[in-house]
Structure 1
Amino acid sequence: MQHLTVLGTGVLGSQIIFQSAYMGKDVVAYDINDEILAKLPERWEYLKDAYRRDLADATDEKLDAAVARIRATADLADAMKDADIVIEAVPERLDIKQQTWEAVAAVAPADTIFATNSSTLLPSDIAPFTGRPEKFLALHFANEVWKFNVGEVMGHEGTDPEVFEAVAAFAAEIGMVPVRIHKEQPGYVLNSLLVPFLDAAAQLFVKGIASPEDIDNTWRIATGAPSGPFQIFDVVGMMTPYYLNASSDDPIKREFAEIIKRDYIDKGYLGKGSGRGFYEYK
């Protein structure tokens, strides 16, 4: 599968785009308007710096070649016309993902494989909206995909086993370590472990038990981990925890979402990729 289309150019979507192009794929970056797409060159420069810092083989020539393999468009039909595989990375809301896949199904070639990068939603809840449930599954990436390079592959009961293996092979081709998930599980392996950890940190913060800095320091010092939970929130970006918590039945989670929106999102502090989240980054 040489031709990839990525739906959504946010924090993780842009990383999937750049990583796939870096590994030699031809990538179409789709988003809903040209104003969003106009910001991508700045994002590519940010990712180039990250690759130079973290990867020994990241030469200027290789990075420039990656950017040259990326084409941006706000025309969905144009984005789909040559796609062998589509990866969706739109906001983490079931209704948005369902509506997105309905629109994609109307214009995508019949043999195109569909994959969602959803962090928490089940493929079976989205599959009926794709028009081709047998060719639909999840391919989930961790943030900073060039460095934390797991690719969790999770189908649903109707996913064709050959499609499942083809997507696992594609994940390996773009530099991921494929992790085959044998049954549907909200959060896969990674987020099944990570989300309760982040939720515990958010509760400590909302209840006024300790500051984000002290919570992070405690975790790093006591366990030897390189990052604390609020540093991880900054890498993930503020929009994902906001969407995950804003409609929760838990009042503590809703309050955390309100804090994130009021004190961070509304001020443009969207996480590490924007230069500021719980911490400031140069």
Structure 2
Amino acid sequence: MSRLDKVTVLGSGVLGGQIAWHSAFKGKTVTVYDIAPDAIERCRAAHGQYAAIYLSDVGADNADIAATREHLTYSTDPAAAVAQADLVIEAVPEFPEVKSAVYKEMAGLLPPATLVVTNSSTLLPRDFASATGRPEKFCALHFSTSLWAMNFAEIMAHPGTAAQTLTEVTEFAVEIGMLPIPVRKEHNGYVFNTWLVPFLNAAQTLVTNGIARPEDVDRTFLFTGAKFGPLGMMDMIGMKTAHDVLSHWGRESGDAQMSANVDYIKTNFLDRGRLGLQTGSGYYDYPDPAYRRPGFLDVPDISVVPDLVSLIAPTEGN
């Protein structure tokens, strides 16, 4: 049994909010911290959505939801947010300079025994270890979106991580119902995002370049038996996170197509306030996205053939 009972989540975005809600559901005392009051309010609203999901999909009852809410507090005061924390989970935007600034701000505020983990999607813990001021008490603990269903957590050390830190963090993951995935070497993207980022980028490329409609991209994937396709998955991850990850790696790799995909996401989603599941709209509208409706994968009536043909560009020479 770990000693990590009081948890502070830095960042109230999609995944930060999910980590906070689920940890509270599992009995941890959780504080959600964000610099922006409006972000905290969006997180509170998202927690209302999660309550409904946990009642319908996770087997929770009304008493469980009430207890979860009792375990949650929200704060825009950094000192108060971490004053009693046993564990701090960093889930701020996927930009190195932003994460480093948060760690440096928190370093002087944390109790001596507090452990710190990063939920970074693609960055390495070694990049931030010194900024935490406690490198031996720092590692990566990466969650997946929709973590109540995709309940795994990737654990990755940097060269200075203490074995006791890894033990306690892994115990914490088990206590909140996660399957620990040990990452044996530091690796950008861990296990999950090593294949997920190129997968989502490829799907977005098909839309950005006008090759296929979003729903048709997802249809081709849903035939594998999945519950949602790559663009539905982007809604769950959150358009801001998808934008930030692709933006960083587009710059790092000099990938012009990835950068074009970033521009598409900004113009069509961020600038329009369609941030994904968190705001009720992204590629799909929630709580009733098209891909969950009966008939999404059915063979259509022959009457729609002219509409489909109108979408098909004529081949060269025809």
Q: TM-score, with normalisation over the residues of structure 2? A: 0.85
C-alpha separation between the residues in 2 aligned to 1:272 and 1:34? 20
> 1:261: which partner in 2?
266
1:162 deviates by: 1.2
1:270 deviates by: 0.3
Q: Which residue type is aligned with residue 254 of structure 1? A: S
1:188 deviates by: 0.9
2:201–2:246 contact (8 Å) kept in structure 1 = no
Q: Which residue type is aligned with residue 252 of structure 1? A: Q
Do residues 27 (structure 1) and 52 (structure 2) align?
no
> Between Structure 1 and Structure 2, whose CA radius of gyration is higher?
2
C-alpha separation between the residues in 2 aligned to 1:219 and 1:43? 27
C-alpha separation between the residues in 1 aligned to 2:207 and 2:44? 36
> 1:68: which partner in 2?
70
C-alpha separation between the residues in 1 aligned to 2:70 and 2:43? 13
Instruction: Pick one of 95, 101, 104 that aligns with 1:102.
Output: 104
Q: TM-score, with normalisation over the residues of structure 1? A: 0.96
Instruction: Pick one of 148, 151, 167 that aligns with 1:149.
Output: 151
Q: % of aligned pairs identical?
A: 41
C-alpha separation between the residues in 2 aligned to 1:40 and 1:257? 24
Relative to 1, partners in 2 of residues 1:36 and 1:208: Cα closer, same or farther, differing over 3 Å?
A: closer
C-alpha separation between the residues in 2 aligned to 1:262 and 1:112? 41
SS at match of 2:181: strand
Q: Name which of structure 1's ranges 131-140 and 31-40 shifts more when overlaid on structure 2.
A: 31-40
1:175 deviates by: 1.2
**Contiguous gaps of at least 5 residues in structure 2:** 288-318
2:13–2:43 contact (8 Å) kept in structure 1 = no
Instruction: Pick one of 255, 260, 275 that aligns with 1:270.
Output: 275
> 1:237: which partner in 2?
238
* Aligned-pair Cα RMSD in Å: 1.2
1:4 deviates by: 0.4
Q: Which residue type is aligned with residue 23 of structure 2? A: S
SS at match of 2:161: coil
Residue pairs, 1:151-166, within 5 angstroms: 151-166=153-168
